[in-house]
Amino acid sequence: MVRVTHWITVLSFFALLLSGTLLVFSHPRFYWGETGNVNTHPLFTIPIPSSRDMVPTGYGYVLPDHNGPSRALHFQAAWVAVLTGLVYVLASLWNGHLRNNLFPARGNRSLRAVWAVFAGYFRRAPTNVADARSYNIVQRIAYLSVIFVLFPLVIWTGLAMSPAFDSAVPAAVDLLGGRQTARTLHFFVSALLVLFVVVHVAMVALAGFWSRVRAMITGRAAVAQESSVEESTAVR
């Protein structure tokens, strides 16, 4: 369940990232409040050309406009990600994955434990059987933050940009500060998710990229350790 939902989420996330980037190209200006347009002062502007000639960017050309297909892909990929996330959370609650594998143990919640994990990554310390078969404290904190903070926020702010959602649940949009505020927050939360992916991939690379990717595909973790071959086969 973890491996299947992981790879479906990977595909949907990159579809969201691609389509979301193209949507930003159509209007690379961000505002705060309920309304915002080319005639109002932006909170900040991303220094890139736009795909709309009516958006002032300071560049003397416009990019190809893929706004329509990008919206369709973004909407479809978002529902795939949401449904996959629901399956993951419900199944993890049912089989104890969240309780047993993600929530940090009571005696392993200190900054010293977090630093020890990072130090091990950068020393390229050998991976033992316990590390190969469980998440360390840094992974647990990061995954829980994504599952229960960033992921709900990106869904909430994404829905808040919809006029239909605004009409149906105006309080949820007002609580964010308006539709343009929701768009700005959606951008920043998405950037944090991208940062998570970059750090996640970097940590995987430091721990042994191909062995970890192979483990997430096959479910078998090959452990490179000096002690014995039996430990490696025990994981399998």
Q: What's residue 211's pLDDT?
A: 84
Specify the higher pLDDT residue, 230 or 123: 123
Q: How much of the chain, in percent, has pLDDT values that exceed 70?
A: 81
State the pTM of this model. Answer: 0.83
Rounded to an integer, what distance in angstroms lies between the CA atom of residue 100 and that of residue 174? Answer: 38
pLDDT in tens, 72-123: 999 999 999 999 999 999 999 999 888 888 887 665 656 666 666 666 665 5
Residues 6 or more apart whose CB falls under 8 angstroms from that of 184 comprise 30, 31, 32, 43
Whether 231 shows a pLDDT value over 50: the answer reads no
Mean per-residue pLDDT for 202-224?
79
Bridge partners (DSSP) listed for residue 30: 44
DSSP string, 175-223: TTTSHHHHHHHHHHHHHHHHHHHHHHHHHHHHHHHHHHHHHHHHS----
Q: What's residue 62's pLDDT?
A: 92
Q: What's residue 114's pLDDT?
A: 64
Least confident of 102-116, 141-155, 220-234: 220-234
Mean per-residue pLDDT for 150-158?
96
Q: What's residue 58's pLDDT?
A: 87
pLDDT confidence of 153, banded at 50, 70, 90? very high
Residue 21 phi/psi, 5° resolution?
Answer: -65, -45
pLDDT in tens, 31-76: 999 999 999 999 999 999 999 989 988 898 999 999 999 999 999 9
Mean per-residue pLDDT for 14-28?
96
Q: What are 92's two structure tokens?
A: 């993890």
Residue 29 phi/psi, 5° resolution?
Answer: -120, 140
Rounded to an integer, what distance in angstroms lies between the CA atom of residue 205 and that of residue 135? Answer: 16
CA–CA distance from 104 to each of 19, 66, 90, 135 (Å)? 35, 44, 19, 9
Q: Of how many residues is the chain composed? A: 236
Of 203, 194, 208, 209, which Cα lies nearest the Cα of 24?
194
Least confident of 38-47, 133-142, 198-207: 133-142
Q: What's residue 135's pLDDT?
A: 78
pLDDT confidence of 11, banded at 50, 70, 90? very high
